[in-house]
Structure 1
């Protein structure tokens, strides 16, 4: 039943058809006015769920069964991977694992959303970039061919009338080569333009499907992202060159000079785009029996140090209990320094994929980006205070936070400085993290998010979706006090045990492997690894940074 429309287009109650509707029963799928809600709830044979009309959920758009008329597919066969109706179940799907089709809708929609995001943010921009490169290359070609023409003209002026015919002949050859060259580029430009148009249509179709909430369209969607990740071939051309000769009248054609032939070929991209899920396997580097202290760097800080982040294998950023962050080399020489405007020390630092420094400011409740020595607050918080920060493989930011009343903690993901994910509770609604301050954070190669929760005396690891994987609470009877945390190319998790003056090394599933404790560590706090898997450790009280080798270089 649908409400009638009055002359003023007012939606009326489905029950009395007199008063305007204000509520909706999600069980019975009818709209009610406030007068009829009480009568409706008198039917105790059903568990009615009456909500304000504005909060009603959209009616599921179940697909029609292609085999049985007037039947809708409200179930999903996980074995056959198809939507089915009740008759299908009794015929061909008896004994199969079935679920409500809506339960499968979320994962299918998520896959579509991922495809759309990859098309919009990665594949489509690369095609546009290639198109732009072609335009630049065409301009360079024009310049090169003008130089060839000029060289030909100069040689022709020397030979005067006798060489005019040959000059014209060479110009004709150059023009023909240029025409072929341009034609080859125009052809490839056209192919790129066609692909861009096709990508736009795919993106538009995906948005339409996602907006329609049409299960039939979503179920039949076939991804083309694997096909489109392989970028079109590049055009490789060996440009002609002009080699002038000393003029001998009787051998004008030979001595005038020759053009090297035009060579046009295509080659596949060596950097074919990988899917976001594709992660290359690094060479296997086993743990060495006795970690080796490579260097001890005196940072020159007059105060205690908290954090270290490698810029490369020879340079690293540090911060501590003052308002200055310093970039140092392995000899302890200061290469750069940044002073915080707020007058309060930074809590933690991170380095983006482009090499820019990021730091958290507890006083102003901001996350800040340092670019060309200019400080910009890119994230501003109100009810929460930022603590520790790290960058991810996709260049997102992960930030641990503490509520202003210091009773709650959470992890927030930012993509392009826009909040995209909050991780705070487990599947039972229990807090994942304690309400303490020390919560160093890192991302593992398998996309797990690892937090060293100092107050909870545990390393808490969740997967990319924020679901808890495990908690590591130490390997000895002594109290475990984790602070800094990092991961390496082997997906090891390393955490600094502050009170016990050692580093714990775990595998990606939380199994203890061994300690690093023979390098005279004193109160280790912040840690990180460089691109060669060397470990950098900050000692809080000595203000020293120690570089340690703990993996074998033999693969």
Structure 2
């Protein structure tokens, strides 16, 4: 009785130490990271508000300078028009004064001839020229109240709080098993917002199936060889890499079209991102890099750590995490490398040696879920590692009789699809509450 209880306690302790305690440590670590990030983001926002205030003052100064300049220009035009009017009146005034002097001269001379020939010109000066009066209105700007300024600039948005649903189940369960009819099934990729997925083995055939096991479509690759990797874009179109002819193809409305032609580099892993870019692992004579394509144009290349050390060694599979991180499994080094969306190295996962795995950690397919968990197919140990976004192990999915898991994919409901290499099966596993 005591021995039985002791065995139960030992198993509970092992479970607590290997899975539950690390899970809480991981969550606590993420909360601390979130706290630091929140403080930084609030600081950045205050700095942005201060900078906006400086810009507002600058704009006000520019506007006031413009108002003063416009006022000065109106003043100049007013004075020019007054000057022109004065000159016109001055001419008339001088003419009248000359006429008066001339008439006085005639009267004083008592010259009979001038008196006899005199003709009045007064009528010429009766038409006084028109002139104008200028009224300068005062400056009455629109009232600028605090409320009006708030409405113009806008409000500071409240923090968006998103509750993270679920947690890793202690006992994941198989909710579906699909026989694909493939030989050595090695790739699977879910189609967003459906119960469908693409799957292939070591052949030139890519199948579109659903979780009911129905075969919906069969696609033969252009080169008649097995594709290296699969992905699906936001529209649900299949995209695959072909190591034989070094091309990347898209299948749209049943038609296969070459999307990217690489010539020298060989494409391996591929994934579609949240922005509908493509991330592709490329190999050339031992060199490996991850390249981001946007509409077939290279926009980013990721190859080295800051130390100059290569990040990748014969990459097998890749996926973009929901936080923008890029997750890549390396065959040659049996590691999973994670970089951020700028290509900066974050961490390298080498398997959790505390679990006493039977065989060497052999990562193949990788997937992510809505909680930013990273799921890794450990082929030779017949399990799936679930780690958090910072590389801490959370749990192993080892209770679903998984056999040689080669590739993984998660659907829109966070169901895990596992492609088993030595069977023709794709197992659908529920692992989150």
The alpha-carbon deviation at position 514 of structure 1 amounts to: 0.7
Give the alignment partner of residue 186 of structure 2, picking from 306, 315, 326.
Answer: 306
* Cα distance in 2, alignment partners of residues 318 and 488 from structure 1: 19
The alpha-carbon deviation at position 279 of structure 1 amounts to: 9.5
The alpha-carbon deviation at position 550 of structure 1 amounts to: 0.4
Alignment of 1:532-551 (within 5 A): 532-551=413-432
Aligned to 2:371: 490
The alpha-carbon deviation at position 454 of structure 1 amounts to: 1.9
Relative distance call for 1:371 and 1:313 in structure 2 (3 A) is closer
Question: Are 1:293 and 2:170 counterparts?
Answer: no
Aligned to 1:422: 301
The alpha-carbon deviation at position 451 of structure 1 amounts to: 0.4
Relative distance call for 1:333 and 1:468 in structure 2 (3 A) is same
Question: Are 1:463 and 2:347 counterparts?
Answer: no
Q: How many residues align?
A: 279
The alpha-carbon deviation at position 453 of structure 1 amounts to: 1.0
Aligned to 1:394: 275
SS in 2 for 1:447: coil
| TM-superposition CA deviations, 1:172-193 (whole Å, max 9, x none) | xxxxxxxxxxxxxxxxxxxxxx
Alignment of 1:67-146 (within 5 A): none
Aligned to 2:311: 432
Relative distance call for 1:419 and 1:290 in structure 2 (3 A) is same
Aligned to 1:189: none
8 Å contact from structure 1 (residues 313, 532) kept in 2: no
Aligned to 2:200: 319
- Higher RCO (CA 8 Å, separation ≥ 6 residues): 2
8 Å contact from structure 1 (residues 358, 370) kept in 2: yes
| TM-superposition CA deviations, 1:416-443 (whole Å, max 9, x none) | 1211101000101110011x2x420001
Aligned to 2:238: 357
Aligned to 2:402: 521
Alignment of 1:73-222 (within 5 A): none
Q: Which moved more, 1:476-485 or 1:465-474?
A: 476-485
Question: Are 1:442 and 2:319 counterparts?
Answer: yes
* Cα distance in 1, alignment partners of residues 246 and 161 from structure 2: 37
8 Å contact from structure 1 (residues 317, 325) kept in 2: yes
Aligned to 1:240: none
8 Å contact from structure 1 (residues 533, 551) kept in 2: yes
* Cα distance in 2, alignment partners of residues 445 and 372 from structure 1: 28
* Cα distance in 2, alignment partners of residues 399 and 449 from structure 1: 11
SS in 1 for 2:186: strand
Aligned to 1:341: 222
SS in 1 for 2:225: coil
The alpha-carbon deviation at position 281 of structure 1 amounts to: 3.7
The alpha-carbon deviation at position 460 of structure 1 amounts to: 0.1
| TM-superposition CA deviations, 1:391-429 (whole Å, max 9, x none) | 1111111111111x2x11111111112111010001011
Aligned to 2:288: 409
* Cα distance in 2, alignment partners of residues 354 and 280 from structure 1: 29
Relative distance call for 1:372 and 1:502 in structure 2 (3 A) is same
The alpha-carbon deviation at position 320 of structure 1 amounts to: 1.4
* Cα distance in 2, alignment partners of residues 541 and 412 from structure 1: 31
Computing the radius of gyration from Cα coordinates, the structure with the larger value is 2
SS in 2 for 1:387: strand
* Cα distance in 1, alignment partners of residues 299 and 244 from structure 2: 24
RMSD: 2.5
The alpha-carbon deviation at position 498 of structure 1 amounts to: 0.5
* Cα distance in 2, alignment partners of residues 337 and 418 from structure 1: 29
* Cα distance in 1, alignment partners of residues 239 and 362 from structure 2: 26
* Cα distance in 1, alignment partners of residues 210 and 282 from structure 2: 31
Question: Are 1:472 and 2:349 counterparts?
Answer: yes
| TM-superposition CA deviations, 1:120-144 (whole Å, max 9, x none) | xxxxxxxxxxxxxxxxxxxxxxxxx
* Cα distance in 1, alignment partners of residues 381 and 164 from structure 2: 32
* Cα distance in 2, alignment partners of residues 540 and 282 from structure 1: 37
Unaligned runs of 5+ in 1: 1-77, 83-226, 231-273
8 Å contact from structure 1 (residues 326, 337) kept in 2: yes
Relative distance call for 1:283 and 1:81 in structure 2 (3 A) is closer
Aligned to 1:500: 381
The alpha-carbon deviation at position 544 of structure 1 amounts to: 0.4
Unaligned runs of 5+ in 2: 1-43, 49-151
The alpha-carbon deviation at position 335 of structure 1 amounts to: 0.4
Relative distance call for 1:507 and 1:341 in structure 2 (3 A) is same
- Output the TM-score relative to the length of structure 1: 0.48
Aligned to 1:185: none
Relative distance call for 1:439 and 1:279 in structure 2 (3 A) is farther
* Cα distance in 2, alignment partners of residues 535 and 501 from structure 1: 15
- Output the TM-score relative to the length of structure 2: 0.61
Alignment of 1:359-378 (within 5 A): 359-378=240-259
The alpha-carbon deviation at position 452 of structure 1 amounts to: 1.1
Relative distance call for 1:519 and 1:398 in structure 2 (3 A) is same
SS in 2 for 1:305: coil
